[in-house]
Structure 1
Protein backbone atom coordinates (compact mmCIF):
# COMPACT_ATOMS: atom_id res chain seq x y z
CA UNK A 1 0.00 0.00 0.00
CA UNK A 2 2.96 2.33 0.52
CA UNK A 3 3.51 2.47 -3.25
CA UNK A 4 -0.10 3.18 -4.22
CA UNK A 5 0.53 6.92 -4.31
CA UNK A 6 2.75 6.34 -7.36
CA UNK A 7 -0.40 5.37 -9.28
CA UNK A 8 -1.64 8.96 -9.07
CA UNK A 9 1.18 10.22 -11.33
CA UNK A 10 0.72 11.22 -14.97
CA UNK A 11 -3.03 11.74 -14.78
CA UNK A 12 -5.01 14.25 -16.84
CA UNK A 13 -5.79 17.51 -15.05
CA UNK A 14 -9.49 16.68 -14.55
CA UNK A 15 -8.72 13.44 -12.71
CA UNK A 16 -8.51 13.63 -8.93
CA UNK A 17 -5.24 11.86 -8.00
CA UNK A 18 -6.51 11.24 -4.45
CA UNK A 19 -9.54 9.41 -5.87
CA UNK A 20 -7.26 7.29 -8.09
CA UNK A 21 -5.04 6.40 -5.15
CA UNK A 22 -8.05 5.48 -2.99
CA UNK A 23 -9.53 3.34 -5.79
CA UNK A 24 -6.18 1.56 -6.15
CA UNK A 25 -6.07 0.92 -2.39
CA UNK A 26 -9.53 -0.64 -2.53
CA UNK A 27 -8.66 -2.66 -5.62
CA UNK A 28 -5.53 -4.07 -3.99
CA UNK A 29 -7.41 -4.84 -0.78
CA UNK A 30 -9.93 -6.76 -2.89
CA UNK A 31 -7.25 -9.24 -3.91
CA UNK A 32 -7.19 -10.48 -0.34
CA UNK A 33 -10.95 -11.13 -0.22
CA UNK A 34 -11.70 -14.85 -0.69
CA UNK A 35 -14.99 -14.32 -2.60
CA UNK A 36 -13.41 -13.28 -5.90
CA UNK A 37 -15.05 -14.34 -9.16
CA UNK A 38 -11.73 -14.75 -10.94
CA UNK A 39 -8.30 -15.74 -9.63
CA UNK A 40 -5.88 -12.95 -8.84
CA UNK A 41 -2.51 -12.37 -7.26
CA UNK A 42 -0.37 -9.59 -5.85
CA UNK A 43 3.41 -9.82 -6.12
CA UNK A 44 5.75 -7.59 -4.16
CA UNK A 45 9.46 -6.91 -4.45
CA UNK A 46 11.47 -6.22 -1.32
CA UNK A 47 14.82 -4.55 -0.94
CA UNK A 48 16.67 -3.78 2.27
CA UNK A 49 13.65 -4.57 4.41
CA UNK A 50 11.13 -2.44 2.52
CA UNK A 51 8.60 -3.04 -0.25
CA UNK A 52 10.02 -1.46 -3.40
CA UNK A 53 7.59 -2.78 -6.02
CA UNK A 54 4.13 -4.23 -6.45
CA UNK A 55 2.05 -5.67 -9.28
CA UNK A 56 -1.51 -6.97 -9.10
CA UNK A 57 -3.00 -9.26 -11.73
CA UNK A 58 -6.23 -11.14 -12.16
CA UNK A 59 -8.25 -12.85 -14.85
CA UNK A 60 -11.33 -11.38 -16.44
CA UNK A 61 -13.44 -11.82 -19.50
CA UNK A 62 -12.51 -9.64 -22.48
CA UNK A 63 -15.46 -8.00 -24.27
CA UNK A 64 -15.03 -10.60 -27.03
CA UNK A 65 -15.72 -13.37 -24.52
CA UNK A 66 -12.22 -14.78 -24.17
CA UNK A 67 -10.45 -14.86 -20.82
CA UNK A 68 -7.50 -12.55 -20.34
CA UNK A 69 -5.18 -11.50 -17.55
CA UNK A 70 -5.39 -7.90 -16.41
CA UNK A 71 -2.80 -5.88 -14.53
CA UNK A 72 -4.58 -3.58 -12.13
CA UNK A 73 -1.56 -1.88 -10.61
CA UNK A 74 2.17 -1.83 -11.19
CA UNK A 75 4.34 0.53 -9.17
CA UNK A 76 7.95 0.74 -8.07
CA UNK A 77 9.59 2.98 -5.50
CA UNK A 78 11.10 6.11 -7.08
CA UNK A 79 14.66 5.12 -6.16
CA UNK A 80 14.26 1.80 -8.05
CA UNK A 81 12.92 3.32 -11.29
CA UNK A 82 14.89 2.30 -14.40
CA UNK A 83 16.64 -0.58 -12.64
CA UNK A 84 14.68 -3.38 -14.34
CA UNK A 85 12.45 -3.97 -11.32
CA UNK A 86 9.26 -2.99 -13.14
CA UNK A 87 10.15 -5.33 -15.99
CA UNK A 88 10.75 -8.20 -13.53
CA UNK A 89 7.40 -7.57 -11.85
CA UNK A 90 5.70 -7.48 -15.24
CA UNK A 91 7.37 -10.78 -16.19
CA UNK A 92 6.21 -12.32 -12.91
CA UNK A 93 2.61 -11.28 -13.62
CA UNK A 94 2.88 -12.67 -17.16
CA UNK A 95 4.20 -16.01 -15.84
CA UNK A 96 1.29 -16.18 -13.40
CA UNK A 97 -1.13 -15.49 -16.28
CA UNK A 98 0.36 -18.31 -18.34
CA UNK A 99 -0.13 -20.64 -15.37
CA UNK A 100 -3.81 -19.66 -15.38
CA UNK A 101 -4.06 -20.76 -19.01
CA UNK A 102 -4.69 -17.33 -20.53
CA UNK A 103 -2.79 -16.14 -23.57
CA UNK A 104 -3.38 -12.40 -23.41
CA UNK A 105 -2.46 -9.72 -20.84
CA UNK A 106 -4.00 -6.26 -20.78
CA UNK A 107 -3.64 -3.14 -18.68
CA UNK A 108 -4.52 0.53 -18.72
CA UNK A 109 -2.57 3.69 -18.02
CA UNK A 110 -3.31 7.37 -18.42
CA UNK A 111 -2.80 8.67 -21.95
CA UNK A 112 -0.73 11.51 -20.51
CA UNK A 113 1.56 9.11 -18.59
CA UNK A 114 4.24 9.01 -21.27
CA UNK A 115 6.74 7.30 -18.98
CA UNK A 116 4.43 4.34 -18.39
CA UNK A 117 3.41 4.20 -22.05
CA UNK A 118 7.06 3.99 -23.15
CA UNK A 119 7.73 1.33 -20.51
CA UNK A 120 4.85 -0.89 -21.65
CA UNK A 121 5.64 -0.39 -25.35
CA UNK A 122 9.24 -1.39 -24.63
CA UNK A 123 7.95 -4.55 -22.98
CA UNK A 124 6.02 -5.50 -26.12
CA UNK A 125 2.57 -4.13 -25.24
CA UNK A 126 0.59 -2.38 -27.97
CA UNK A 127 -2.18 0.15 -27.64
CA UNK A 128 -5.50 -1.56 -28.30
CA UNK A 129 -8.14 1.11 -27.73
CA UNK A 130 -8.45 4.85 -27.24
CA UNK A 131 -10.78 6.09 -24.52
CA UNK A 132 -12.23 9.59 -24.77
CA UNK A 133 -13.23 11.59 -21.71
CA UNK A 134 -14.69 15.08 -21.44
CA UNK A 135 -15.04 17.15 -18.29
CA UNK A 136 -18.61 18.44 -18.61
CA UNK A 137 -17.91 21.63 -16.67
CA UNK A 138 -15.40 22.71 -19.33
CA UNK A 139 -16.56 24.67 -22.41
CA UNK A 140 -16.08 23.05 -25.79
Structure 2
Protein backbone atom coordinates (compact mmCIF):
# COMPACT_ATOMS: atom_id res chain seq x y z
CA UNK A 1 0.00 0.00 0.00
CA UNK A 2 2.97 2.32 0.55
CA UNK A 3 3.61 2.33 -3.21
CA UNK A 4 0.04 3.48 -4.03
CA UNK A 5 1.06 7.15 -4.07
CA UNK A 6 3.22 6.42 -7.13
CA UNK A 7 0.01 5.77 -9.07
CA UNK A 8 -0.72 9.53 -9.12
CA UNK A 9 2.05 10.28 -11.61
CA UNK A 10 0.68 12.04 -14.66
CA UNK A 11 -2.92 12.12 -13.40
CA UNK A 12 -4.88 15.08 -14.74
CA UNK A 13 -4.67 18.19 -12.58
CA UNK A 14 -8.46 18.22 -12.06
CA UNK A 15 -8.36 14.80 -10.39
CA UNK A 16 -7.90 14.54 -6.64
CA UNK A 17 -4.60 12.69 -6.03
CA UNK A 18 -5.80 11.48 -2.63
CA UNK A 19 -8.86 9.96 -4.31
CA UNK A 20 -6.60 8.20 -6.84
CA UNK A 21 -4.54 6.67 -4.02
CA UNK A 22 -7.64 5.65 -2.09
CA UNK A 23 -9.19 4.07 -5.19
CA UNK A 24 -5.99 2.07 -5.75
CA UNK A 25 -5.99 0.93 -2.13
CA UNK A 26 -9.63 -0.14 -2.36
CA UNK A 27 -8.98 -1.97 -5.64
CA UNK A 28 -6.07 -3.86 -4.10
CA UNK A 29 -8.01 -4.63 -0.91
CA UNK A 30 -10.71 -6.16 -3.10
CA UNK A 31 -8.27 -8.80 -4.25
CA UNK A 32 -8.19 -10.19 -0.73
CA UNK A 33 -11.96 -10.37 -0.25
CA UNK A 34 -13.58 -13.82 -0.57
CA UNK A 35 -15.04 -14.39 -4.06
CA UNK A 36 -15.96 -17.31 -6.27
CA UNK A 37 -12.90 -19.02 -7.81
CA UNK A 38 -13.84 -17.96 -11.36
CA UNK A 39 -13.86 -14.30 -10.24
CA UNK A 40 -10.47 -14.33 -8.55
CA UNK A 41 -7.77 -12.07 -9.82
CA UNK A 42 -4.16 -12.02 -8.71
CA UNK A 43 -1.64 -9.68 -7.15
CA UNK A 44 2.02 -10.35 -7.85
CA UNK A 45 4.54 -8.72 -5.52
CA UNK A 46 8.21 -8.10 -6.23
CA UNK A 47 10.47 -8.27 -3.18
CA UNK A 48 14.17 -7.39 -3.01
CA UNK A 49 16.21 -7.41 0.16
CA UNK A 50 13.09 -8.10 2.22
CA UNK A 51 11.38 -4.96 0.86
CA UNK A 52 8.38 -4.73 -1.47
CA UNK A 53 9.68 -2.98 -4.59
CA UNK A 54 6.69 -3.44 -6.87
CA UNK A 55 3.36 -5.05 -7.52
CA UNK A 56 0.88 -5.72 -10.27
CA UNK A 57 -2.80 -6.61 -9.95
CA UNK A 58 -4.64 -8.44 -12.71
CA UNK A 59 -8.14 -9.72 -13.21
CA UNK A 60 -10.51 -10.52 -16.04
CA UNK A 61 -13.40 -8.50 -17.38
CA UNK A 62 -15.60 -8.54 -20.43
CA UNK A 63 -14.69 -6.01 -23.12
CA UNK A 64 -17.67 -4.07 -24.45
CA UNK A 65 -17.34 -5.98 -27.74
CA UNK A 66 -17.89 -9.27 -25.93
CA UNK A 67 -14.65 -11.19 -25.33
CA UNK A 68 -13.25 -11.74 -21.86
CA UNK A 69 -9.81 -10.22 -21.47
CA UNK A 70 -7.35 -9.66 -18.67
CA UNK A 71 -6.98 -6.21 -17.14
CA UNK A 72 -4.14 -4.78 -15.09
CA UNK A 73 -5.52 -2.55 -12.37
CA UNK A 74 -2.20 -1.35 -10.99
CA UNK A 75 1.44 -1.74 -11.83
CA UNK A 76 3.77 0.15 -9.55
CA UNK A 77 7.51 0.01 -8.91
CA UNK A 78 9.38 1.73 -6.07
CA UNK A 79 11.39 4.74 -7.30
CA UNK A 80 14.76 3.20 -6.41
CA UNK A 81 13.88 -0.01 -8.32
CA UNK A 82 12.83 1.66 -11.58
CA UNK A 83 14.82 0.52 -14.64
CA UNK A 84 15.91 -2.62 -12.83
CA UNK A 85 13.61 -5.02 -14.68
CA UNK A 86 11.00 -5.20 -11.91
CA UNK A 87 8.21 -3.77 -14.08
CA UNK A 88 8.99 -6.16 -16.94
CA UNK A 89 8.98 -9.17 -14.61
CA UNK A 90 5.71 -8.09 -13.03
CA UNK A 91 4.11 -7.63 -16.45
CA UNK A 92 5.44 -11.07 -17.40
CA UNK A 93 3.73 -12.59 -14.35
CA UNK A 94 0.44 -10.89 -15.26
CA UNK A 95 0.77 -12.08 -18.87
CA UNK A 96 1.38 -15.68 -17.76
CA UNK A 97 -1.62 -15.48 -15.44
CA UNK A 98 -3.76 -14.25 -18.35
CA UNK A 99 -2.47 -16.94 -20.72
CA UNK A 100 -3.33 -19.54 -18.11
CA UNK A 101 -6.93 -18.37 -18.29
CA UNK A 102 -7.00 -18.58 -22.07
CA UNK A 103 -7.53 -14.88 -22.73
CA UNK A 104 -6.05 -13.27 -25.82
CA UNK A 105 -5.70 -9.67 -24.65
CA UNK A 106 -4.20 -8.00 -21.62
CA UNK A 107 -5.16 -4.36 -21.23
CA UNK A 108 -4.30 -1.55 -18.86
CA UNK A 109 -4.71 2.18 -18.50
CA UNK A 110 -2.30 4.89 -17.48
CA UNK A 111 -2.56 8.64 -17.15
CA UNK A 112 -2.13 10.54 -20.40
CA UNK A 113 0.45 12.73 -18.68
CA UNK A 114 2.55 9.78 -17.49
CA UNK A 115 5.01 9.83 -20.39
CA UNK A 116 7.42 7.49 -18.61
CA UNK A 117 4.80 4.76 -18.21
CA UNK A 118 3.55 5.23 -21.78
CA UNK A 119 7.07 4.81 -23.16
CA UNK A 120 7.62 1.74 -20.98
CA UNK A 121 4.41 0.03 -22.11
CA UNK A 122 5.18 0.78 -25.76
CA UNK A 123 8.72 -0.57 -25.34
CA UNK A 124 7.42 -3.91 -24.04
CA UNK A 125 4.86 -4.34 -26.82
CA UNK A 126 1.66 -2.68 -25.63
CA UNK A 127 -0.20 -0.50 -28.12
CA UNK A 128 -2.49 2.41 -27.42
CA UNK A 129 -6.07 1.44 -28.18
CA UNK A 130 -8.32 4.26 -26.98
CA UNK A 131 -8.08 7.88 -25.94
CA UNK A 132 -10.32 9.27 -23.21
CA UNK A 133 -11.42 12.89 -23.26
CA UNK A 134 -12.68 14.85 -20.26
CA UNK A 135 -14.03 18.37 -20.05
CA UNK A 136 -14.15 20.12 -16.70
CA UNK A 137 -17.52 21.83 -16.48
CA UNK A 138 -17.96 25.23 -14.88
CA UNK A 139 -20.09 25.13 -11.72
TM-score (norm 1): 0.95
Residue 10 of structure 1 deviates from its aligned partner by: 1.2
Unaligned runs of 5+ in 1: none
Give the alignment of 1:85-124 within 5 angstroms. 85-124=86-125
| SS of equivalent to 1:3 | helix
CA contact 1:39–1:58 (8 Å) conserved in 2: yes
**Match for residue 136 of structure 1?**
137
CA contact 1:55–1:74 (8 Å) conserved in 2: yes
Residue 136 of structure 1 deviates from its aligned partner by: 1.0
**Match for residue 80 of structure 2?**
79
| SS of equivalent to 2:55 | strand
Q: What is the alpha-carbon distance in structure 2 between the residues aligned to residue 81 and residue 89 of structure 1? A: 12
Q: What is the alpha-carbon distance in structure 1 between the residues aligned to residue 40 and residue 32 of structure 2? A: 11
**Match for residue 21 of structure 1?**
21
CA contact 1:9–1:17 (8 Å) conserved in 2: no
Residue 39 of structure 1 deviates from its aligned partner by: 2.6
TM-score (norm 2): 0.95
Residue 110 of structure 1 deviates from its aligned partner by: 0.6
Runs of 4+ in 1 over 3 A off after TM superposition: none
**Match for residue 35 of structure 2?**
35
Q: What is the alpha-carbon distance in structure 2 between the residues aligned to residue 54 and residue 136 of structure 1? A: 35
Q: What is the alpha-carbon distance in structure 2 between the residues aligned to residue 10 and residue 96 of structure 1? A: 28
Residue 9 of structure 1 deviates from its aligned partner by: 1.2
Residue 25 of structure 1 deviates from its aligned partner by: 0.1
